[in-house]
Structure 1
Amino acid sequence: MQTRLSNGLIMAALGHLAIEFSSNFLPILYPLLMVHMGLNFTQVGTIALVATTATTLAQPFFGYLSDRWGSERMASLSIIWIGVVMGLVGFAWNYPSLLLLIALGALGSAAFHPAAAVLAASHSGPRRGAGLSIFSVGGNIGSALSPLWMATALGLFGMAGTATLMPIGLLAGILAYRLLRPTPSARQKQGADRGHAAADGFLLGLILVVVAVMFRSWFQVALTTYLPVWIDQAGGGVAVGGRYLSVLLFAISVGSFVGGPAGDRLGLWQVVALSLAAMAPALWLFLNTQGVLQLVWLAVVGITIGATFPTSIALALDAWPRQAGVASGLLMGLGWLPGGLGASLTGMVADRFSLTVGLNLLLVPPVLGLGCILAYALARRFHLRAGKIQRIFFPSNHV
């Protein structure tokens, strides 16, 4: 990976780590909340729905703001916000207050992702896939560390252990603000990049990539939400469930790390398609094996999920370069919207039948996502051919 590690790229990745570290501990809380607040599977799914909905619906708006006002300050302040608000989750006194805090904390994630993705891409040079891999793997490491940290903090301090997120968010946000402040030359370069972005975006391609990510997020959020509960019900206990979740999340970070460079070498949409094609078989094998082999298939599931992160972001930015913040906001915003809906649906199926039946339902979304990516590849071919024909007959329209 020969991508230049500029301050902007490094800080975007570290900021992503801090954001995910402050928000991905919720599955560890679910078994405890089911006991302390008497929650059922549907209510647990609703928590995931609130978190993902608050994040996803706001991201296109924050992406628009980052295009207009710059992304450095927005990314820095969002790290502080989410650390402070999510640190208060353990002090929620009832179910509505819990939902409110989670929704407010999710706004920090919504503000960060579009801005930081544009920062990472703009500091990656020609190997955008590799640069976005570095950005993605930072977030996935944070996601993997979050349940381990929170399991320890909850063991030491009880529900008040969530407050340990506050100093981490404050320190990371202040550091990001100091390192991400653009120099005058960087501001001029960003303005030039916007001015030279391709005028003819591929809107259909952007839509198809976003829909494919919707199906992947349905799969991912539902699996990460209920994996610890499924392991706990199987007799493994909360601690074992946390370890399984960490294996999955670390594997996702591995997939994120290799996915971008693979996309630069093999093709972006090809890597996304291969990952989605392998996702459902790997999940089925995980659900139907035990022991070490089960962990191996869980890791394969995580790698296939992670490999789609940097590649899908790069596809979206390539499809709609004129408004990079909006494109990344749509992908990481609307693209994640079905995650909470899928988790809620999985919870409803689990309440009516069993959690195993609910998890088997997740074999469907990756197949639908694969269909979208294959449609993208076909539509892109026609789009490029149409562009060549237009340049031949109307050369004055393409400077």
Structure 2
Amino acid sequence: MTTATSTKGAIQPTAQSNTTYSILFIIGLCHLLNDSIQSVIPAMFPILEKSLGLTFTQLGLIGFCLNMVSSVMQPVVGYYTDKKPIPYALPIGLMSSMLGVLGLAFAPSFSTILISVLFIGLGSAIFHPEGSRVAYMAAGSRRGLAQSIYQVGGNSGQALAPLITAFILVPLGQFGAIWFTGVAGLAVLFLLYIANWYSQKLKAFQTFKKSTVTQTKEPFRLQANVKKAIFIIILLIFARSWYVSAIGNFYAFYAIEKYELSISQSQLYLFTFLVMGAIGTFIGGPLADRFGKRNMIIFSFSAATPLTLMLPFVGNILSLILLALIGLLLMSSFSVTVVYAQELVPGKIGTMSGLTVGLAFGMGAIGSVALGGLIDLFGLTTTMIAVAILPLLGTLALRLPTDTMLGKWQQ
């Protein structure tokens, strides 16, 4: 057996720690506020296209810039804070987002829009791995539930995009973004409270050093197995993110073309998928606590796959029902994947949170560009049929180590 300790600065809960629900609900609410701010950007696309005369290419670059800054910086922030936790990074991150939203409201040109988006992306990159660490610290023995409470806030914030467009940006225009400086300010106040709790909690948690080994063969086998599991997780995130990107960015156009719906009617399909995805995110964690994280990941993909394969071939009513079920099932593994990755590499909570969540953002950004290109080449129907097979990659989850094996690796 090997003897190992975790990374210096990593936060690990004590064995008898209880679940701190008040902190979980506050950080979940802050996640909702943070991601609702992010959702302002794609929600503003129709407004910016008219107010600044932007092209679709420029709009695509705005979305790409937001997601790539957030995704690339998340594991970087997580890696640094694993070594040196910074409790007050959370409110600082939201202050960056607040400045970005303020810039959006007054931006006179494409270049200033991009600068504003950079501030929002950076704020998101700081918030997500540290927010996930807070959820981990407050989880006690219920890590799946804790991560679900945290992640469902983010998914709920993203689901608000159609409502933000309809009730704020359409009547108020670009200047309507100014209202979200208040949302960011509220989040900063909540996060100051969280940061104070975080600072006090650091004193109650052990400090660990980097993993060291006493034998030569088993550690290398263990490292190889961990790397293999991480590679599988990356493929699963790719499959889920690209499918969600296809639905989130292009299914409304598909519904308009196939079912002859109006723009407003098509938004119902997107809203249904996103809301049910948020519900799936929430219920996945508690189910994983009871039935196992690996089992939940396998179930999420295997149950969603036949429904995604059916979706391109059904009528408008049944497609709405299928979208609801797909969102519920496919997103039920979202928070579970984060917790699984955290336990796969103990002591690297921020790094693994940043990697899994940041990768989801990055894959979604790349997917939106790539899928748009495929639609231009092959058409909406062909592309939607093709992406329906992506959840089949979920069969790779059968090769993941069991929860029992993860527990042995951590000993």
TM-score bracket for the superposition, by shorter chain length: 0.7 to 0.9
> SS in structure 2 opposite 1:333?
helix
| Closer/same/farther in 2, CA of residues 381 and 11 from structure 1, 3 Å limit | closer
Q: Which amino acid aligns with 1:206?
A: I
Q: Which amino acid aligns with 1:237?
A: S
> SS in structure 2 opposite 1:321?
coil
| Closer/same/farther in 2, CA of residues 144 and 183 from structure 1, 3 Å limit | closer
Q: Residues of 2 paired with 1:184 and 1:109: CA distance?
A: 21
| Closer/same/farther in 2, CA of residues 104 and 84 from structure 1, 3 Å limit | closer
CA contact (8 A) 1:283 1:301 kept: yes
Segments of 5+ residues of structure 1 without an aligned counterpart are 389-397
**Paired residue total:** 382
Residue 236 of structure 2 corresponds to residue 220 of structure 1: no
Residue 278 of structure 2 corresponds to residue 253 of structure 1: yes
Measured against aligned partners, the alpha-carbon deviations of 1:288-342 in whole angstroms (never above 9, x if no partner) come to: 3334322111111211232111110110011011221111111112343221111
Q: Residues of 2 paired with 1:254 and 1:342: CA distance?
A: 23
| Closer/same/farther in 2, CA of residues 355 and 49 from structure 1, 3 Å limit | farther
Q: RMSD value over aligned CA atoms?
A: 3.0
TM-score normalised over the length of structure 2? 0.82
Measured against aligned partners, the alpha-carbon deviations of 1:70-120 in whole angstroms (never above 9, x if no partner) come to: 253122222232244135435444444434432331111111111111110
Q: Which amino acid aligns with 2:326?
A: V
| Closer/same/farther in 2, CA of residues 97 and 363 from structure 1, 3 Å limit | farther
Q: Which residue of 55, 62, 65 corresponds with 2:80?
A: 65
Residue 136 of structure 2 corresponds to residue 121 of structure 1: yes
| Closer/same/farther in 2, CA of residues 108 and 6 from structure 1, 3 Å limit | same
Q: Residues of 2 paired with 1:312 and 1:218: CA distance?
A: 16
Number of the residue aligned with 1:236: 261
| Closer/same/farther in 2, CA of residues 268 and 330 from structure 1, 3 Å limit | same
Q: Which residue of 67, 70, 90 corresponds with 1:52?
A: 67
Measured against aligned partners, the alpha-carbon deviations of 1:342-380 in whole angstroms (never above 9, x if no partner) come to: 111111122223233333332233222x143222238x8
Measured against aligned partners, the alpha-carbon deviations of 1:216-244 in whole angstroms (never above 9, x if no partner) come to: 11222232122334345554333333332
Q: Give the 5 Å matches for 1:93-132.
A: 93-132=108-147
Q: Which residue of 173, 195, 219 corresponds with 2:188?
A: 173
Q: How far does residue 43 in structure 1 lie from its aligned partner after superposition? A: 5.2
> SS in structure 1 opposite 2:83?
helix
> SS in structure 1 opposite 2:390?
helix
Q: Residues of 1 paired with 2:233 and 2:199: CA distance?
A: 35
CA contact (8 A) 1:73 1:177 kept: yes
Number of the residue aligned with 2:228: 204
Residue 201 of structure 2 corresponds to residue 186 of structure 1: yes
| Closer/same/farther in 2, CA of residues 288 and 143 from structure 1, 3 Å limit | same
Measured against aligned partners, the alpha-carbon deviations of 1:3-23 in whole angstroms (never above 9, x if no partner) come to: 834332122211111111111
Number of the residue aligned with 2:345: 320
Q: Residues of 1 paired with 2:94 and 2:143: CA distance?
A: 24
Q: Which residue of 167, 170, 182 corresponds with 1:155?
A: 170
Number of the residue aligned with 2:28: 13
Displacement over 6 Å in runs of 4+? 195-201, 380-385
Q: Which amino acid aligns with 2:89?
A: M
Q: Which residue of 384, 397, 403 corresponds with 1:373?
A: 397
Q: Which amino acid aligns with 2:64?
A: L
Q: How far does residue 164 in structure 1 lie from its aligned partner after superposition? A: 1.6
Q: Please identify which structure carries the higher helix content.
A: 1
Q: Which amino acid aligns with 1:64?
A: Y
Fraction of identical pairs, as percent = 24
Residue 355 of structure 2 corresponds to residue 330 of structure 1: yes
Measured against aligned partners, the alpha-carbon deviations of 1:157-183 in whole angstroms (never above 9, x if no partner) come to: 122222221111111112221243137
TM-score normalised over the length of structure 1? 0.85
Residue 394 of structure 2 corresponds to residue 340 of structure 1: no
Number of the residue aligned with 2:104: 89
| Closer/same/farther in 2, CA of residues 315 and 173 from structure 1, 3 Å limit | same
Number of the residue aligned with 2:7: none
